[in-house]
Amino acid sequence: MLNFQSSFYEKLIRSLDTNAVLMRVEEDGRYYPIWCSKEFTEMMEGTEEDFIKIESGGSMQSIHPDDRAKVSYLFHHHVTKDGTNSLNVRKLTMKGNWIWVNIHYSFIEDDGILYAYCNYFDITDIKENEKRAQSLYETARAELERLSSDKLVTWRFNITKNVIESLHGREVWLKYVKGRKYTDNLTYRVKTFPLERDRKKFLECFSVENLLENFKRGENTISTILFSQRPNGRKCFVEFSIILSENPYNGDIMAFATERDYNTETVNSILLKKALVEQFDMITYVVDDHYGVVIGDSKRITRGSIFPKKISGNYSEYLENQVKPVLTGSDEEIQNSLEALKLETIEKKVSEKEPYEVNISCYTNNEIFYKRFVFYVVDKEAKFYLLLKSDTTKIQREQIMINTQLKTALDTANQASIAKTAFLSSMSHEIRTPMNAIIGLDSIALKEPNISARTRSHLIKIGESAKHLLNLINDVLEMSRIESGRMVLRNEEFSFSTMLEQINAMVSSQCAEKGLNYDCNIIGEVDDYYIGDDMKLKQILINILSNAIKFTSKGGNVNFTIERVAKFSNKSTIRFIIQDTGIGMSEDFIPNIFDVFTQENSSASSAYGGTGLGMPITKNIIEMMNGSISVKSEKGVGSEFTVNVTLRNSDKISEVKHEEYAINLRDLKVLIIDDDKISCEHAKLVLEEVGISSDVAMNGNEAIEMIKLKSARREAYDILLIDLKMPEQDGISVTRRIREVSGNESAIIILTAHHWDDIIEEALEAGVDKFMAKPLFASSILSEFSQAIEQKRLSAEDDSPADLTGRHILLAEDMFINAEIMKEILSMREMEVDHGENGKLTVELFEKSPVGYYDAVLMDIRMPVMDGLQATETIRALNRPDAKTVPIIAITANAFDEDVQRSLQAGMNAHLSKPVDPEKLYQTLEEFIK
Amino acid sequence: MLTIETLNEFGVNTKEGLTRCMNNEKFYFKMLKMGLASDQFEKLGAALECNNLDEAFEAAHALKGVLGNLALTPIYNPLAEMTELLRAGKSEDYVTMYQPILEIRNKLLALV
């Protein structure tokens, strides 16, 4: 028997300042405490003797009943069930308190006796904490699993034991993996990633070694994005994450793994990021004067960068240190830029209108760069803003370049255009004025009877050259009018047949002169009236026809065909075909004929003449009319021009045959008003060439007197040709005065060497009907005059004449025969006539008549007792309302201008000369009675 | 016998005269006869004989109107010429000038 008290072992144990108990263990597992330390008795709240007594024989009275089996097993096997030598058990103190203790057992055999040395640790506090941790752990696990329910797959692995504890999810590869090895599953799962890159990544991240290493380092969460193929074959990005945790029950390392679809995020984040990066070199949030770069890579911006040096920092400092120093422009511009970027400004502006944009220019790297800051609100109340910064240098530079180029081009064009207009305007006058003199004097010189044949030939050539030069000037002006958009098409009703007749009259005479056969045909039906610009239409048709004549030699044919090819609700398309058997053109040349100054054979221009602008002008006018022109031609065979023009239909149907309107040239009464003697003489000559006689007035006043007289004679001028530039009164003021004095009875044509676009409105308002270029040409007079007169007649048509039936006429006539004839004439229109044989009797008749009884007085001038002038003055002086208004018309053999003037002065309205033409008398009465 | 044809032979513009008389031939002839028979011819002759130019002008002017109305051109034309000379107060050998006018008038009047 061991004398324990004296033994070395006892001494050794007693010397240890520990919380321990020494026991003797029987073979049957019963144990007897033989010694316990002071610390132990303190823990157990009792004495050594008490403890030894209670514990002797292995009563296990102080051990919690639930823990007794573990302890019993240990004392029988000298080792725990888990194969360790320590146990956590609950012990009852002498005072009856339960405490948690950890006991470490060492079994020692000495001298045939088995001792158990038990080392105690009070772990009550630890246990309490652990209990709390346990419940937290359980809650967290439940939560994680719940959260993971919307995941593709969730697992729970025990890493320590290398076993899968649970697995749920929508997309699992093997359902019954619970209890299998984690490492096997790893090997199996890795095959489901199609990319080698991701297989490698998966194994690296989630190998047992790596997980444990991470856990050791305190990194509990491992997550990675992988490209995966799902069990159903779908490919998608997944986020594979594992949360590591130690199982507090057994210290096992647990892994909670989730796998979720990451496609949307991948697209959202990666693609959005990429898209943004393309547009913005920086995306930053700004809050409370603090910025943080969300997207942006300073490396991307190679030059001119103002990318913040720090990924996050103070916004004002950034402005101050990185933006302000590089801003460029005037002091004011710099100040404005800084002001615009200030936090307060951003706050104000962005709440007014989103996005708020600021464009700045920076001078860095010796170049100007343009930056654009765009601000958005993320949270207004939090004053949390988003800033998108982009570099607009490239765009700005391109824009600036384009703007500069455009501006330069525009300036140049404007200057050129102004210069051209000014040049053309002055050229038109400067050249046309002397041309006027040349052509005028030339034609006057040709009238000289005593010139030699040689001189005559020279004079003719001078005239032709001058006319050619003038044509050229006119064409150039016309072209410039078209090009500058100053040419405006009229939209007026016109007589289509009259237009064709005028064309035919001109073209057929030219053809006859040259020995060509001319034929004009209308296929089908065309209306009498259309709405459009007949002058321009005529111009283009005559131009093409003139070319046809020019390029066809004697004996050839020129055909003009007109056809209405379509009629819509309010429009008609008319096709004009002009065919000739002339020299034709090669196919190569056809596309060029509408270019300016082209003639196929340049030597041909000398043979055929022409300005080279005719076809371009023609084409331009047709295009302005939205029409088309095409050409077919064969060299040596002929040419065919087709013009299609769409005109508006007119409701007007030809009621009156326009033959009635046709001008009888010999009857035309024309007054030329021009201060320049040569011009007057030339105009008179040209008019005589076409059979029109004319009067001449050298100034406005003279003209007005002449017009008054003619008007009183009821022989008003049909046409007044008025020069625009006259020293005292210009043509337009003269026109205005003429309209005041004699009304609207004459057509007024302004003659000018200027181009008239600038004054046309004023002129039309003053009463001008038409403009003609100086000098006059016989060829254009016919068409221009007839047009002017027709226009006048059309506008006067509405004035319906008064009915003469039953009108009372007072006739003063001393000659019985004249009176009889006059009565006969008047009775033909059923007028009633009272006859006074002299002025006095006539006045008496008027005085006796009721007011308004006489509709007109026809007054002879030379009468015995009282002449017509006196009688008129007397009537006009009578104190009755009709005295001033009754029309008094002189009918007299006194036909001189002075006589007419005297009549007018006496108060007569008109002055007809004997013998009176009945029709003229009727017309006069109709007009005045109305 | 005074007919359109004979008048035409004399150079009378019967067409114009008839037009003025509304193509009423009877009326025209009536007026014609009156016109040719007018005593203004005698008045004019007498005034010219006495060299009373004012009176001569009055008569000439009155005749001119009538002759013009009747389109008695062969008498009208020289008479109109004379009227203007008288109006201008020019001294001419009016008696000699009037002789052929009166002759034609008398010839025509003989036909009436």
pLDDT greater at residue A511 or residue B112:
A511
Minimum-distance CB partner of B61 among A821, A893, A917? A893
What is the H or E stretch that residue A564 is in?
Answer: strand A557-567
Q: DSSP of A367-425, one letter per residue?
A: EEEEEEEEEEEEETTTTEEEEEEEE-HHHHHHHHHHHHHHHHHHHHHHHHHHHHHHHHH
- Nearest residue of B to residue A918 by CA position? B20
Minimum-distance CB partner of A824 among B16, B22, B34? B22
The answer, yes or no, to whether residue A641 has pLDDT greater than 80, is: yes
Predicted local confidence at residue A610, as pLDDT: 65
Contact assignment for A815 to B22 by CB distance below 8 Å: no
Contact assignment for A818 to B22 by CB distance below 8 Å: no
C-alpha pair distances (Å), A181 with each of A161, A164, A242: 8, 6, 17
Instruction: Read off the pLDDT of each residue in A572-587 and give the average, rounded to a whole number.
Output: 91
The pTM of the full predicted model, rounded to 2 decimals, is 0.44
Give yes or no for a contact between A536 and A489, defined as CB atoms under 8 angstroms apart.
yes
Predicted local confidence at residue A147, as pLDDT: 53
CA distance A863 to chain B (A): 9
A-chain residues near B22 (CB < 8 A) = 824-825, 828, 918
Q: Is B2 on the interface with A (CB under 8 A)?
A: no
The answer, yes or no, to whether residue A651 has pLDDT greater than 60, is: yes
Residue percentage of chain A with pLDDT more than 70: 87
* A597 confidence band (pLDDT: 50, 70, 90): low
What's the CA gap between A689 and A684, in Å, rounded? 9
- Dihedral sign for Cα atoms in the order A705, A709, A712, A716: negative
Highest mean pLDDT among A278-282, A479-483, A642-646, A759-763: A642-646
Minimum-distance CB partner of B71 among A820, A860, A915? A915
Give yes or no for a contact between A639 and A548, defined as CB atoms under 8 angstroms apart.
yes
Give yes or no for a contact between A244 and A211, defined as CB atoms under 8 angstroms apart.
yes
* A660 confidence band (pLDDT: 50, 70, 90): very low
Q: Other CB atoms closer than 10 Å to residue A876's CB: what's the count?
A: 15
What's the CA gap between A109 and A928, in Å, rounded? 165
Predicted local confidence at residue A846, as pLDDT: 92
Which of A817, A831, A859 is the best mutation test for B, with the most CBs of B within 10 A?
A817
Predicted local confidence at residue A560, as pLDDT: 92
> In chain A, positions 797-816, which contact chain B (CB-CB < 8 Å)?
814-816
Instruction: Read off the pLDDT of each residue in A620-646 and give the average, rounded to a whole number.
Output: 91
**B28-61: per-residue pLDDT in tens?**
888 888 888 888 899 889 998 888 888 898 888 8
Least confident piece of the model among A149-163, A298-312, A432-446 = A298-312
Beta A86-92 vs A98-110: how paired, if at all?
A: antiparallel
CA distance B68 to chain A (A): 5
Tell me the helices (H) and strands (E) count for chain A, helix number first. Answer: 29, 33
- Nearest residue of B to residue A818 by CA position? B66
Instruction: Read off the pLDDT of each residue in A708-737 and give the average, rounded to a whole number.
Output: 87
Predicted local confidence at residue A10, as pLDDT: 59
Q: Is A914 on the interface with B (CB under 8 A)?
A: yes
B-chain residues near A918 (CB < 8 A) = 19-20, 22
**CA-based nearest residue to A396, from A369, A373, A375:** A369
Least confident piece of the model among A210-219, A247-256, A481-490, A690-699 = A481-490
Q: Average pLDDT, whole number, for chain B? A: 86
Burial A849-874 (b: 16+ CB within 10 A, else e): beeeebbbbbbbbbbeebbbbbbbbb
- Dihedral sign for Cα atoms in the order A37, A39, A43, A48: positive
B-chain residues near A914 (CB < 8 A) = 64-65, 68-69
In terms of Cβ atoms closer than 10 Å to its own Cβ (0-12, 13-18, 19+), residue A247 is middle
Highest mean pLDDT among A111-125, A245-259, A334-348, A600-614: A334-348
Highest mean pLDDT among A137-151, A464-478, A696-710: A696-710
Predicted local confidence at residue A505, as pLDDT: 79
Minimum-distance CB partner of A918 among B20, B66, B70? B20
Instruction: Read off the pLDDT of each residue in B11-20 and give the average, rounded to a whole number.
Output: 86
Contact assignment for A893 to B19 by CB distance below 8 Å: no
Which of A804, A813, A815, A896 is the best mutation test for B, with the most CBs of B within 10 A?
A815
Residue percentage of chain A with pLDDT more than 90: 11
* A797 confidence band (pLDDT: 50, 70, 90): low
Predicted local confidence at residue B18, as pLDDT: 86
CA distance B27 to chain A (A): 9
The answer, yes or no, to whether residue A642 has pLDDT greater than 90, is: yes
**CA-based nearest residue to A37, from A54, A14, A56:** A14
CA distance B59 to chain A (A): 10
CA distance B84 to chain A (A): 9
Give yes or no for a contact between A662 and A638, defined as CB atoms under 8 angstroms apart.
no
- Nearest residue of B to residue A829 by CA position? B22
CA distance A817 to chain B (A): 6
The answer, yes or no, to whether residue A857 has pLDDT greater than 90, is: yes
**CA-based nearest residue to A517, from A470, A472, A555, A547:** A555
Predicted local confidence at residue A581, as pLDDT: 92
Least confident piece of the model among A190-194, A407-411, A627-631, A745-749 = A407-411
CA distance A828 to chain B (A): 7
Instruction: Read off the pLDDT of each residue in A721-735 and give the average, rounded to a whole number.
Output: 87
C-alpha pair distances (Å), A65 with each of A24, A26, A60, A83: 22, 21, 9, 22
Contact assignment for A824 to B27 by CB distance below 8 Å: yes
In the three-class reduction of DSSP (H, G, I as helix; E, B as strand; rest coil), residue A678 is classed as helix
Predicted local confidence at residue A870, as pLDDT: 92
Instruction: Read off the pLDDT of each residue in A547-562 and give the average, rounded to a whole number.
Output: 90
Q: Is B23 on the interface with A (CB under 8 A)?
A: no
Highest mean pLDDT among A639-648, A917-926, B50-59: A639-648
Predicted local confidence at residue A840, as pLDDT: 92
pLDDT greater at residue A648 or residue A427:
A648
Predicted local confidence at residue A81, as pLDDT: 81
What is the number of alpha carbons within 13 Å of residue A495 lying toward its C-beta?
22
* A812 confidence band (pLDDT: 50, 70, 90): very high
Q: Does a cis peptide bond (omega within 30 degrees of 0) precede residue A65?
A: no
What is the H or E stretch that residue A687 is in?
Answer: helix A677-689
* A858 confidence band (pLDDT: 50, 70, 90): very high
Least confident piece of the model among A176-180, A775-779, B46-50 = A775-779
What's the CA gap between A55 and A23, in Å, rounded? 10
Write the DSSP symbol of residue A313.
Answer: E
* A779 confidence band (pLDDT: 50, 70, 90): low
Q: Is B55 on the interface with A (CB under 8 A)?
A: no
Give yes or no for a contact between A692 and A670, defined as CB atoms under 8 angstroms apart.
yes
Q: In what order do the strands lie in the sheet with A770-773?
A: A694-697, A670-673, A719-723, A747-752, A770-773
What is the number of alpha carbons within 13 Å of residue A855 lying toward its C-beta?
20
Tell me the helices (H) and strands (E) count for chain B, helix number first. Answer: 7, 0
The answer, yes or no, to whether residue A889 has pLDDT greater than 90, is: yes
Write the DSSP symbol of residue A764.
Answer: H
Give yes or no for a contact between A802 and A929, defined as CB atoms under 8 angstroms apart.
yes
**CA-based nearest residue to B110, from B76, B4, B28, B102:** B102
ipTM: 0.84
Predicted local confidence at residue A658, as pLDDT: 42
Q: Is B19 on the interface with A (CB under 8 A)?
A: yes
What's the CA gap between A921 and A919, in Å, rounded? 5
Beta A153-158 vs A253-261: how paired, if at all?
A: antiparallel
Highest mean pLDDT among A29-43, A171-185, A866-880: A866-880
What's the CA gap between A354 and A839, in Å, rounded? 96
Contact assignment for A817 to B34 by CB distance below 8 Å: yes
Q: Is A899 on the interface with B (CB under 8 A)?
A: no
Task: Give the long-range contacts of residues A11-17, CB within 8 A, separation 24 or more.
Answer: A13/A117
**CA-based nearest residue to A859, from A830, A836, A881, A828:** A836
What's the CA gap between A912 and A914, in Å, rounded? 7
B-chain residues near A816 (CB < 8 A) = 34
What's the CA gap between A780 and A690, in Å, rounded? 10
Minimum-distance CB partner of A818 among B58, B69, B71? B69
B-chain residues near A894 (CB < 8 A) = 61
Q: Other CB atoms closer than 10 Å to residue A13's CB: what's the count?
A: 18
Q: Which two tokens stand for residue A382?
A: 């939090």
Contact assignment for A893 to B68 by CB distance below 8 Å: yes
What is the H or E stretch that residue A237 is in?
Answer: strand A235-246
Q: Is B73 on the interface with A (CB under 8 A)?
A: no
> In chain B, positions 32-51, which contact chain A (CB-CB < 8 Å)?
34-35, 38
C-alpha pair distances (Å), B36 with each of A387, A462, A868, B77: 118, 60, 25, 15
Q: Which two tokens stand for residue A84?
A: 């360790």
In the three-class reduction of DSSP (H, G, I as helix; E, B as strand; rest coil), residue A189 is classed as helix
Contact assignment for B35 to A817 by CB distance below 8 Å: yes
C-alpha pair distances (Å), B28 with each of A89, A363, B60: 168, 110, 22
Predicted local confidence at residue A3, as pLDDT: 46
Minimum-distance CB partner of B69 among A821, A828, A894? A821
The answer, yes or no, to whether residue A893 has pLDDT greater than 60, is: yes
What is the H or E stretch that residue B62 is in?
Answer: helix B53-70
Predicted local confidence at residue A601, as pLDDT: 58
Q: Average pLDDT, whole number, for chain A? A: 82
What's the CA gap between A559 and A581, in Å, rounded? 9
A-chain residues near B66 (CB < 8 A) = 815, 817-818
Q: Is A644 on the interface with B (CB under 8 A)?
A: no
* A578 confidence band (pLDDT: 50, 70, 90): very high
**A77-107: per-residue pLDDT in tens?**
888 887 788 888 888 888 888 888 888 888 8
What's the CA gap between A869 and A907, in Å, rounded? 8
* A275 confidence band (pLDDT: 50, 70, 90): low
Contact assignment for B31 to A860 by CB distance below 8 Å: no
Give yes or no for a contact between A832 and A856, defined as CB atoms under 8 angstroms apart.
no
* A607 confidence band (pLDDT: 50, 70, 90): low
Q: Which two tokens stand for residue A773?
A: 């270029």
* A281 confidence band (pLDDT: 50, 70, 90): confident
Predicted local confidence at residue A1, as pLDDT: 39
pLDDT greater at residue A359 or residue A60:
A359
Predicted local confidence at residue A2, as pLDDT: 44
Predicted local confidence at residue A548, as pLDDT: 92
